[in-house]
Amino acid sequence: MTSTTPALLPIAGDACCSGAADAGALAEPEAQALARRLKALADPTRLRLLSIIAAHEGAEACVCDLTEPVGLSQPTVSHHLKQLVDAGLLSRDKRGVWAYYALRPGALDDVAHALVAGVAPR
């Protein structure tokens, strides 16, 4: 599916004059990049994980602090945290046996801004 980009795409982010009638619209690479970050956020469990971490002491938490509030198994929580780290929303700091996760400052605002500015640039 969509393995081969059928139509050429001006990946070179030239801001103006994209060429088609949908000038100024999101190009596919940008849409995919933004969708990838939004997909990491579009899950109630992951939203709660972010929120719990943000509200936690020191704005960081280890996995064992998170499994109980969300009521899921430890592998599942680790899986969700990995998604959030891969999306650049969380940072992971392993100290000894514990892995402390913390919100990356500005990451959420970055996504929110990219969403509004990317879709409705005027």
Partner DNA sequence: ACGATTCATCGACAGACATCGATACGAGGG
Partner DNA sequence: CCCTCGTATCGATGTCTGTCGATGAATCGT
Query: Which residues make up the interface to a copy of itself (CB under 8 A)?
Result: 6-7, 20-26, 28, 31-32, 34-35, 38-39, 41-45, 47-48, 50-52, 54-57, 65, 68-69, 71, 103, 108-109, 111-113, 115-116, 118-122
- H helical segments located in the chain: 28-41, 44-55, 63-70, 74-86, 107-119
Report the residue from 83, 91, 110, 115 that binds DNA according to the rule CB under 7 A. Answer: 83
Taking the alpha carbons at both ends of the chain, their separation in whole angstroms is 32
Residue 42 per-residue DSSP state:
S
Site string for DNA, 11-30 (x = CB under 7 A): --------------------
Phi-psi map region of 5: left, alpha, beta (phi>0 left; psi -120 to 50 alpha): beta
Q: Does 63 bind DNA (CB under 7 A)?
A: yes
CB 34 within 8 A of CB 115: yes
Please choose which of a copy of itself, DNA, none residue 73 contacts, taking the beta carbon within 5 to 8 angstroms, the exact cut-off set by kind.
Answer: DNA
Q: Is 73 in the site for DNA (CB under 7 A)?
A: yes
* 99 makes contact with DNA (CB under 7 A): yes
